[in-house]
């Protein structure tokens, strides 16, 4: 891909708008701040610089430009991120055909095409053969209308073990690629290919962009397993995907909450009620990656898992993980022991809406369960209720909400709230936090970071001061030395400094240092500030030299090497004079600034 196309896309892609689709950003001085999508945190440390078009997290250290963000957040290669951004900003890319084009990107593109072709094939089977029409009749009997079947791209995999294989082969996809999709398998002898899905209702699974990346297949009879899913592939990682997020994400952001169900049919049933902000975890294990994915849309969720024993256990696991991540959680346990799909078919859309609106907060949910199990008729029962609920309270990151919920539990369980709060404090202290918070540690000194910022904001000041710093060896051994040298090299080549090109020329560690310097302060240092930072670095160099001289002076004295001792003392006197001069200049500048 030609570099001018890359720069065209970069220029058109507003990083605040792009990242804003994934992270809720709020203005903080000159920057925008939000919760980092790459690690769990409760206090925003993720910064975006609108002017420089870069981002940096002061918690986990991840940073870069808009391409880097899309690559990380959507797990894409650079060519894929470029293509996705170009599509977002309305730029048509022209393929150059140059050598070195990312082969993995070509492979992933081919896998997307195969899945798209497979989805169309499966969908066509519902109106084709007799067994396909029988599968469609089954879906209609489950209450799904043709419009819903079409909207969710539902399909059918024929019992013919090579039906899909023949179709995809006729489209000239190679056997190697077909095997990488997981849709086509090779027999034990290695001579024959056959379909993974046979005689099953097919549910296409899409990524956030709406591209089909996998399938789930439901058996029509008693065949086991009841549900069969695609294996993980280069374009599909189960723990990173939420079913229906591609369609429901917009509604989740708009309504600021999601409904989390277990399976495909539950999700389709809820959506068919006109409730679009629903997603499915496609299993009872809700992963940390899925929680981070969901947090980009909203941190409020109603958990509506099946009420069977597996569903209850899944609800508890999900509660733990969601609470640790700072979510506001409600729990919808449907009456009659019904799952969402069965409840809606038996009792209707309005009944579901009614119970959804009345869904209790998680403390009420776990308290009700504990009271039902242990009762409140005895001191032992009350204690058992408190012990059942306390672990959930202890996971609440917000102390105000935690206290409010503690008071609520005390009132419902008829307990002394003072004693209950004391027990809660113990539980909170004893629990291990999901992510240990610690102050951010900067690699470079404040003077280095602020001088970098001064140079990048005013390149005339950099031309005036940087060459002398390098020539005098002031920067030698400093954490930011390589960044300063790259700046001088870039200015020597002529033209303005391109932040993105500069970042690409640095190691990942120095890229982080560059981004930290640009994002750590809202105040832009002026020329006088830059001179003061230069003096601070010069003072630091002299102090390091003095520290190294003292042991040498002591050694020369012990060895009675008087000539060497005199030479070292003379060097020390000169350094002390230079240090005094710099300190005097700094004091004068400080007094001038104060007036």
- Least confident residue range of 140-154, 250-264, 344-358, 566-580: 566-580
- Give the pLDDT confidence score for residue 248 in this predicted structure: 94
Confidence category of residue 420, pLDDT binned at 50, 70, 90:
low
Highest mean pLDDT among 164-178, 396-410, 581-595: 164-178
Distance CA 289, CA 38 (A): 9
Confidence category of residue 589, pLDDT binned at 50, 70, 90:
low
Selected residue with higher pLDDT from 314 and 225: 225
pLDDT tens per residue, range 478-507: 888 898 998 888 888 776 788 888 888 888
- Give the pLDDT confidence score for residue 441 in this predicted structure: 62
- pTM over 0.85, yes/no: no
Convert 335-373 to b/e letters by CB count within 10 Å (16 or more is b): eeebbbbbbbeebeeeebeeebeebeebbbbbbebbbee
- Give the pLDDT confidence score for residue 565 in this predicted structure: 73
- Least confident residue range of 187-196, 282-291, 382-391, 514-523: 282-291
Contacts of 491 (CB under 8 A, 6+ apart): 459, 462, 463, 466, 497
- Least confident residue range of 136-150, 273-287, 492-506, 564-578: 564-578
Average pLDDT (403-421) is 74
What region, left, alpha or beta, does residue 210 occupy, with left being phi > 0 and alpha being psi -120 to 50 degrees? Answer: left
Confidence category of residue 80, pLDDT binned at 50, 70, 90:
confident
Contacts of 398 (CB under 8 A, 6+ apart): 326
Selected residue with higher pLDDT from 92 and 70: 70
- Cβ atoms 84, 209 nearer than 8 A: yes
Confidence category of residue 392, pLDDT binned at 50, 70, 90:
confident
Confidence category of residue 563, pLDDT binned at 50, 70, 90:
confident
- Give the pLDDT confidence score for residue 595 in this predicted structure: 43
Confidence category of residue 334, pLDDT binned at 50, 70, 90:
very high
Distance CA 295, CA 293 (A): 5
- Least confident residue range of 205-209, 525-529, 590-594: 590-594
Helices (H), 75-162: 78-89, 103-125, 130-141, 146-151
- Give the pLDDT confidence score for residue 417 in this predicted structure: 65
Domains (ranges, CATH) in the chain? 3-89 (3.90.580.10), 103-236 (3.90.980.10), 240-359 (3.40.1360.10), 365-430 (1.20.50), 446-594 (no CATH)
Average pLDDT (189-202) is 92
- Give the pLDDT confidence score for residue 279 in this predicted structure: 97
pLDDT tens per residue, range 343-356: 999 999 999 999 99
Distance CA 61, CA 38 (A): 10
CA dihedral 16, 18, 21, 22 (to 10 degrees): -90
Strands 212-219 and 200-206: antiparallel
pLDDT tens per residue, range 427-473: 655 543 333 334 456 678 888 888 888 888 888 889 889 898 888 88
Distance CA 399, CA 393 (A): 10
Average pLDDT (170-189) is 93
Average pLDDT (59-83) is 88
Count of other CB atoms within 10 angstroms of residue 181: 26
- Give the pLDDT confidence score for residue 283 in this predicted structure: 62
Helix axis angle, 78-89 to 3-12, nearest 10°:
50
**Start-to-end C-alpha separation, the chain:** 56
Burial class (CB in 10 A: 0-12, 13-18, 19+), 230: buried
Confidence category of residue 284, pLDDT binned at 50, 70, 90:
low
Beta bridge partners of 46: 34, 57
- Give the pLDDT confidence score for residue 424 in this predicted structure: 57
**% of the chain surpassing 90 pLDDT:** 32
pLDDT tens per residue, range 85-140: 988 887 877 765 544 445 777 888 899 999 999 999 999 999 877 889 999 999 99
Distance CA 90, CA 399 (A): 46
pLDDT tens per residue, range 33-65: 998 988 877 788 999 998 888 999 988 889 999
- Give the pLDDT confidence score for residue 501 in this predicted structure: 81
> Mind spelling out the 3-state secondary structure of 177-207?
HHHHHCCEEECCCCCCEEECCCCEEEEEEEC
Confidence category of residue 74, pLDDT binned at 50, 70, 90:
confident
Average pLDDT (233-249) is 91
What region, left, alpha or beta, does residue 77 occupy, with left being phi > 0 and alpha being psi -120 to 50 degrees? Answer: beta
Average pLDDT value for the chain: 83
């Amino acid at each position: 891909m030609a570099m001018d196309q890359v720069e065209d896309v970069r220029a058109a892609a507003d990083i605040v708008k792009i990242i804003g689709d994934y992270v809720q950003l709020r203005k903080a001085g000159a920057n925008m701040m939000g919760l980092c999508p790459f690690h769990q945190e409760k206090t925003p440390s993720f910064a975006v610089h609108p002017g420089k078009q870069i981002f940096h997290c002061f918690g986990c250290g991840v940073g870069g430009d808009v391409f880097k963000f899309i690559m990380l957040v959507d797990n894409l290669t650079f060519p894929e991120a470029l293509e996705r951004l170009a599509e977002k900003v309305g730029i048509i890319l022209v393929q150059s055909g140059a050598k070195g084009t990312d082969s993995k990107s070509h492979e992933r593109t081919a896998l997307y095409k195969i899945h798209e072709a497979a989805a169309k094939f499966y969908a066509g089977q519902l109106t084709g053969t007799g067994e396909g029409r029988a599968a469609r009749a089954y879906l209609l009997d489950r209450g799904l209308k043709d419009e819903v079947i079409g909207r969710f791209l539902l399909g059918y995999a024929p019992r013919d073990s090579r039906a899909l294989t023949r179709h995809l082969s006729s489209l000239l996809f190679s056997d190697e690629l077909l095997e990488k999709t997981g849709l086509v398998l090779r027999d034990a002898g290695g001579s024959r290919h056959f379909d993974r899905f046979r005689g099953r209702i097919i549910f296409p699974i899409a990524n956030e962009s709406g591209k089909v990346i996998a399938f789930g297949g439901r058996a029509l009879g008693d065949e086991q397993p009841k549900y069969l899913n695609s294996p993980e592939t280069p374009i599909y990682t189960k723990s990173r995907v939420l079913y229906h997020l591609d369609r429901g994400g917009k509604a989740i952001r708009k309504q600021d909450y999601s409904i989390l169900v277990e399976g495909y049919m539950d999700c389709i049933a809820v959506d068919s009620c006109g409730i679009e902000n629903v997603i499915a975890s496609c299993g009872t294990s809700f992963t940390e990656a899925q929680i981070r994915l969901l947090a980009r849309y909203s941190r409020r969720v109603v958990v509506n898992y099946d009420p069977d024993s597996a569903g209850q256990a899944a609800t508890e696991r999900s509660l733990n993980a969601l609470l640790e991540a700072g979510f506001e959680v409600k729990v919808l346990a449907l009456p009659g022991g019904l799952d969402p799909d069965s409840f809606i078919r038996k009792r209707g859309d309005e009944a579901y809406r009614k119970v959804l609106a009345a869904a209790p907060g998680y403390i009420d949910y776990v308290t009700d369960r504990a009271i039902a199990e242990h009762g409140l008729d005895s001191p032992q029962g009350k204690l058992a209720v408190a012990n059942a609920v306390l672990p959930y309270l202890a996971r609440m990151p917000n102390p105000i909400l935690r206290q409010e919920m503690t008071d609520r539990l005390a009132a419902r369980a008829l307990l002394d709230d003072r004693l209950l709060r004391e027990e809660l404090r113990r539980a909170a202290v004893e629990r291990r936090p999901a992510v240990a918070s610690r102050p951010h540690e900067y690699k470079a000194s404040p003077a280095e970071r602020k001088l970098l910022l001064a140079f990048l904001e005013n390149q005339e000041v950099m031309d005036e001061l940087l060459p002398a710093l390098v020539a005098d060896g002031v920067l030698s051994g400093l954490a930011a030395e390589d960044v300063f040298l790259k700046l001088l090299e870039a200015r020597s080549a002529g033209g303005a400094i391109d932040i993105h090109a500069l970042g690409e020329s640095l190691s990942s560690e120095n890229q982080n240092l560059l981004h930290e310097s640009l994002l750590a302060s809202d105040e832009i240092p002026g020329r006088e500030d830059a001179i003061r930072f230069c003096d601070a670095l010069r003072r630091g160099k002299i102090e390091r030299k003095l520290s190294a001289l003292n042991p040498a002076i002591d050694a020369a004295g012990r060895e009675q090497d008087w000539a060497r001792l005199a030479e070292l003392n003379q060097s020390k006197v000169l350094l002390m004079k230079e240090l005094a001069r710099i300190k005097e200049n700094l004091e004068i500048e400080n007094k001038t600034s104060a007036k």
